[in-house]
């Protein structure tokens, strides 16, 4: 990721989308601009059939946060 952001600062005009994990990066000559109202559809890959209790608990917790 750092290499991609560095390339943006020195190459022809370009952009990339990234997901913040541990704070916003500080890269010279690059502006990180938040996208207001953007959302990302996320899926959980599990075995087919009825989810076991741990997966049901996770799905329930995630729907409360959404």
Over residues 27-66, the pLDDT tens digits come to: 888 888 888 887 877 788 888 899 889 999 998 988 876 5
Alpha-carbon distance of 23 to 16, in angstroms, equals 17
Q: What is residue 9's three-state secondary structure?
A: helix
Cβ atoms < 10 Å from Cβ of 59:
13
**pTM > 0.75: yes or no:** no
């Amino acid at each position: 990721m750092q290499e991609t952001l560095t390339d943006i600062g020195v190459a022809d005009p370009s952009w990339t989308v990234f997901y913040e994990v541990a704070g916003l990066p500080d890269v010279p000559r690059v502006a990180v601009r938040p996208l207001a109202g953007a959302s990302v559809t996320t899926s959980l890959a599990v075995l087919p059939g009825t989810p076991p209790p741990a997966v049901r608990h996770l799905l329930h917790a995630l729907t409360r946060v959404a």
